[in-house]
Amino acid sequence: MSTSVQPGRARSGKAARGRRRGRPDRKAWAFLGPFLALYLFAMVVPVLYAVYQSMLKVERSGPMGLGEPSVGFAGFENYSLALHQETFVEGFGRVLLFGIVQVPVMLVLALVLALLLDQVSHRWAGLLRATYFLPYGIPGVIATILWGFLYVPGVSPVTSVLGDLGFQPDFLGYDNVLWSVANIVVWQFAGYNMLIIIAQLKAVPQELYEAARIDGAGPWQTALRIKLPLVRPALVLTTVFSIIGTMQLFAEPLVLKKVAPAVTTDYTPNLSAYFDAFANANLYLAAAKSVILAVVAMVLSFGFLSLVTRKQRSER
């Protein structure tokens, strides 16, 4: 403390009391406590419990396994069972394919919209931004119900208009339904990702754009050479969230399942685990599948993060 504070302190007894207390840093745990306790209870322990459950199995004693069922240790049996289940592995392949196509399409759309909105007058930009962002507020299942109606021939104005034009699209057919799901996800999250990119653009000092303009850069050049590299951190963030989102794919295919027979109970890993737990009553196998899913999602997002940070470092 500087000496200039000393006289003030001497006058105020309150301040002197304040000085005598213990180091405030000890209080950190009081602030952290409630969150950490609930974090452990509602995230960490359930995961550990699922890992434990995934190592169990139902054993039947007696001749031909007709005796009393009991729970025994299975080791990695459930994991090997899950990984040998062709439909489960196919589900992983499906969400990976989905992600490889859907994530770039969505992020490019978000990026293009963000950059274009930068070129529009203030009033219009605000209105359009809100319009693009609107679907984010609509729950995934409700969005799926809506798009479901737009996909089903008979109700859908889209198929009827396309039919008049001579197209016969089958949005819910075996080959297309995955991309119909992708469309729903793009519709929901493109505006949200756009907003993250816009926030990043706004954080860029305007002087930079001015300097570029003085140097004779047109809007296209400014967008490609200056804005694009600058929003890179936002793109990294949105990509990681999108990867996590892709792995979770659940509600959309489950709801579409009613109108699209091509969606099976193993369509995505999450669906597969859900149906194991609630339709086939095999909680232990479902637990193993959940753990596999969580591990794959974390490995993918960590992998992507370390990939971009390494590339970043080598560029410097």
Partner 1 sequence: MSATGTRTTTTGTAVAGSPPAAPAPRPRRAPRPGRILLVAVLTAAALYFLLPVYWLLVAATKSNDSLYGSFGLWFDDPRLWDNLSRVFSYDGHVYLRWTLNSLLYAGVGAVLATLLSAAAGFALAKYRFAGREAVFTFVLAGVLLPSTALALPLYLMFSKLELTNTYWGVLIPSVVSPFGVYLCRIYAEAAVPDTLLEAARVDGAGEGRIFFSLVLRIMTPALVTVFLFQFVHIWNNYFLPLVMLSDDRKYPITLGLVTWQQAADRVPELTQYTIGGAFVSVVPLAVAMLVLQRFWQTGLTEGSVKE
Segment 224-263, which members bind partner 1 (CB under 8 A)? Answer: 233-234, 236-237, 240, 244-245, 247-248, 250-251, 255, 258
Shortest gap between Cβ of 66 and partner 1 (angstroms)? 27
2 vs 62 by CB, closer to partner 1: 2
Among positions 257-316, residues that touch partner 1 (CB under 8 A) are 258, 270, 273-274, 277-278, 283, 286-287, 290-291, 293-294, 297-298, 301-302, 312
Least CB distance to partner 1 at residue 228 (A): 15
Give the Cβ contact number of residue 224 at 10 Å: 13
Selection from 207, 191, 210, 202 nearest residue 231 by Cα: 202
Query: How far is the C-alpha of 80 from the C-alpha of 64, rounded, in Å?
Result: 24
56's enclosing H/E stretch is: strand 56-60
Smallest separation, CB 61 to partner 1 (Å): 24
Question: In which element (H, E) is residue 70 found?
Answer: strand 69-73
Euclidean distance between CA atoms 38 and 45, whole angstroms: 10
**Is 32 or 100 the residue whose CB approaches partner 1 more closely?**
32
Residue placing its CB nearer to partner 1 in the complex, 181 or 287:
287
Instruction: Answer yes or no whether residue 117 interacts with partner 1 by CB under 8 A.
Output: yes
Q: Rank residues 178 and 286 by Cβ distance to partner 1 and give the closer one.
A: 286
Burial class (CB within 10 angstroms; exposed 0-12, middle 13-18, buried 19+) of 259: middle
Main-chain dihedrals φ then ψ at residue 262, nearest 5 degrees: -65, -20
d(CA 109, CA 95): 20
Tokens of 241: 């969230």
How far, in Å, are 74, 93, 266 from residue 86 at the CA level? 21, 11, 10
The stretch near partner 1 (CB under 8 A) out of 57-65, 66-74, 95-103, 130-138 is 130-138
The half-sphere exposure of 34 on its side-chain side, counting CA atoms within 13 A, is: 1
Q: x/- binding map, residues 3-22, to partner 1, per CB under 8 A?
A: --x---x--x-xx-xxx---
Per this entry, what is the length of the chain? 316
Asked if 2 is part of the footprint of partner 1 (rule: CB under 8 A), the reply reads no
Q: How many residues of this chain bind partner 1 (CB under 8 A)?
A: 116
Contact with partner 1 (CB under 8 A) among 7, 62, 93, 154: 154
Q: Which of 202, 214, 216, 279 binds partner 1 (CB under 8 A)?
A: 202
- B/e letters for 266-282, b = 16+ CB within 10 Å, e = fewer, are bbbbbbbbbbbbeeeeb
Q: Least distance to partner 1 from the beta carbon of 77, Å?
A: 18
Nearer to partner 1 by Cβ, of 22 and 62: the residue is 22
Please state the closest distance from residue 178 (CB atom) to partner 1, in A. Answer: 18
Residue selected from 10, 32, 224, 228 as contacting partner 1 according to rule CB under 8 A: 32
User: Applying CB under 8 A, which part among 60-68, 69-77, 113-121, 172-180 lies near partner 1?
Assistant: 113-121
In whole angstroms, the minimum distance from the beta carbon of 260 to partner 1 comes to 13
Q: Judged by CB under 8 A, which stretch of 79-87, 89-97, 174-182, 186-194 contacts partner 1? A: 186-194
**Distances from the Cα of 151 to the Cα of 187, 191, 271, angstroms:** 14, 22, 21
